[in-house]
Amino acid sequence: MQKKAKKAVDILNGRQFDAHYAENAEEARKLVETMLPDGAQIAVGGSVTLQETGIMELIKNGKYDFIDRFNNTSWEEELHKYRLGFLSDVFITGTNAVTLDGQLVNIDCTGNRTGCIGFGPKKVIVVVGANKIVKDAAEGVKRAKSIAPLNSRRINHGNPCDETCECSDCSGTNRICNIVSIIDGCYKFSKRISVIVVADELGF
Q: What is the pLDDT of residues 25-84, one digit of tens each?
A: 999 999 999 999 999 999 999 889 999 999 999 999 999 999 999 888 999 999 999 999
**CATH for 122:** 3.40.50.10420
Q: Domain of residue 174: give its range.
A: 2-198
Distance CA 105, CA 54 (A): 23
Instruction: Output the pLDDT for position 120.
Output: 96
Residue 204 inside a domain? The answer is no
What is the count of structural domains for the chain?
Answer: 1
